[in-house]
Structure 1
Amino acid sequence: MSRTALLSDGQWELIEPLMPRSDGRRGRPFRDHRMVVEGIIYRYRAGIAWRDLPERFGPWQTVWKRHRRFSGDGTWDAILTVLLAEADAAGLIDWEVSVDSTVNRAHQHATNLPRDTGGLVSNYTNLREEPPDHAVGRSRGGLSTKIHHLCDGNMRPLVMLVGPGQGGDSPMFEHVLKSLSVPRVGPGRPRTTPVRALGDKAYSSRANRQFLRQRGIQAVIPERSDQIANRQRRGAKGGRPVSYDTEVYKRRNVVERSFNIFKQWRALATRYDKLALTYRGGVILRAITIWLRALW
């Protein structure tokens, strides 16, 4: 997609039937969907304030309110799910998946809401509720948000969750894998099981390996040095060494390259959104544009 183009006519034809027709409360029909959606894309790609949107996208309040609505009611997720189903039917999904996370600094404009961080478990796995910490936490780089990402072997996104920047990767592994669900075009259950899952040493744990084993997914995750030392110290009681395909593991770089594609949108590389819902909505919208390019 060029710097001046937002959505081609063919790409818009793919998602236009999936857009809501009315607000669902007063029955008022939405108008100018394409102009608003392109305004949302422009804002996240350029990394500007909502108030600074060019006038050709209409009132900035309309653009913001519709993005807030679509992020909270599941519209963006529903569109992505349909595109994933069509991509799977066309054989475009490589089911050798890679999982990782990336930390993005939160701008001061995104961190001025009250946050409840007093030992509560963050609710960022519930995609319809705003977590009490707004998925903002203090990591080494300051206040930040972490995107937990599952992509296929072609660098294309399948699952995106958000959490506070200091959150660990391993506890989110099961949540990310369980969020994978690609419906079939026609009869049949959604596909939820990849062929294999690639991850770095941060995901090395017995719980994660057992989870993959129970679902019949090949684990390609190296063992951490402290885990190796503990196993060797226990001798025969420490169990067998962890084995994985080193040649397959070399392909794990696709998830890092996928993050590079996401961060071409400046408002994703730096978080300006106060709400985790709208920030993740921007992430999902970026995933939608990636699959639109693959399908059209």
Structure 2
Amino acid sequence: MIVPFMPQATGKSGRPFNDHRLMTEGIIYRYRAGIPWRDLPEHFGPWQSVWKRHRRYSLDGTWDTVLAALLTRADAAGLIDWEVSVDSTVNRAHQHGTNMARTTGGPSNDKNLLIEPEDHAIGRSRGGLTTKVHALVDGNMRPLVLFLGPGQGGDSPLFENLMEAVKARQARAGQVRTCPARAMADKAYSSKAIRAYLRERGLQCVIPEKEDQKDNRKRKGSAGGRPVEYDREACKRRNVVERSFNTMKQWRGLATRYDKLALTYRSTTVLQAVFIWSTA
């Protein structure tokens, strides 16, 4: 299903890439088991070849291309539930993935996903050195967009980037689906800027208001504006994004970050999304 969207060029030895399935299964095996690359079973061939293939596909955006193609097919078949939910999860970074020099405050939230951030999307939070996966999922808890950031980074700054990255193409050529039916998130995303952004796009906002925001509004009286209204029944379905993170962390190599480079680690989250959508 996905091989037409993968590179068909020859390697340095001049042989074509005719082992896509074996290499992909080797990559998936490594992250599902959470083992070092050197411990990859011999069935998959030299571990260096499997690692280099994943590294190459991470750098050239192959996994993103495959996911976009699968989303195009899914949207044409009506398989995407456009009631989307946004959230993030914090994953602990293993010492094997943190022994690189990094500059704090690097562009981890850059929209260009194929640029390695200076801090490698690793930050120090109360849980130690961590990285944060930001996700936008559909109503069936299947990932549509996946970003990476440092563990101490905020959630709301990436909301608009996640929404803008929804690029599932519709069946008619030239049209791109960029407007979900509604957007749901928890109180961490409660801000006037996010609500204004969703209003401008004509999207229903299902985001509860923070308690301190309620208190500030009430203190201002009539100048504080109207209370925030949202569909409370729809908000009960927001847990699809939490369940999606639970599925993601079934891959032990994603639950704990062993990768030094943010590009490689994020591409693995995209590969898991490819795995999920290929069975949709």
TM normalised by structure 1 equals 0.92
For residue 29 of structure 1, report the CA deviation from its aligned partner.
Answer: 2.4
1:52-88 C-alpha deviation (Å, 9 max, x unpaired): 1000001111111110110111100000001011111
- Deviation, structure 1 residue 186: 3.7
Q: Does 1:50 align with 2:37?
A: yes
Counterpart among 249, 252, 257 of residue 271 in structure 1: 257
Deviation at 1:188, TM superposition (A): 3.5
Distance across 1 between alignment mates of 2:110 and 2:250: 24
Residue aligning to 1:184: 170
Separation of aligned partners in 2, 1:72 and 1:176: 20
Q: Which amino acid aligns with 1:122?
A: S
Matching of residue 232 in structure 1 with residue 232 in structure 2: no
Q: Which residue, out of 51, 68, 72, partners 2:55?
A: 68
Contact map agreement 2:106 2:117 (CA 8 A) in 1: no
> Which whole-Å CA distance do the structure 2 matches of 1:193 and 1:236 have between them?
33
Structure 2: unaligned runs, 5 residues or longer = none
Which residue does 2:244 correspond to in 1?
258
Map of 2:81 onto structure 1: 94
Match of 2:198 in 1: 212
**152, 156, 180: which one pairs with 2:142?**
156
Structure 1: distance between partners of 2:107 and 2:36: 31
SS at match of 1:293: coil
Q: Contact 1:123/1:130 (CA < 8 Å) preserved in 2? A: no
For residue 23 of structure 1, report the CA deviation from its aligned partner.
5.2
Residues 233-288 of structure 1: per-residue CA shift (max 9 Å, x gap) = 11111111110010110000111111111110000000000000000111001001
2:260 is the counterpart of 1:282 = no
1:84 counterpart (68, 71, 82): 71
* Paired position in structure 1 for 2:6: 19
- How far apart in 1 are the matches of 2:264 and 2:155? 22
Give the partner amino acid of 1:179. A
State TM-score, norm by structure 2: 0.97
> Identical aligned pairs, as a percentage?
67
119-128 or 249-258, which deviates more: 119-128
1:3 alignment partner in structure 2:
none
Structure 1 residue 17, shift from structure 2 partner: 1.4
Contact 1:124 1:135 in 2 (8 A): no
Name the amino acid aligned to 1:80.
Answer: L
Q: Any unmatched runs of 5+ in structure 1?
A: 1-13
CA RMSD of aligned residues (A): 1.4
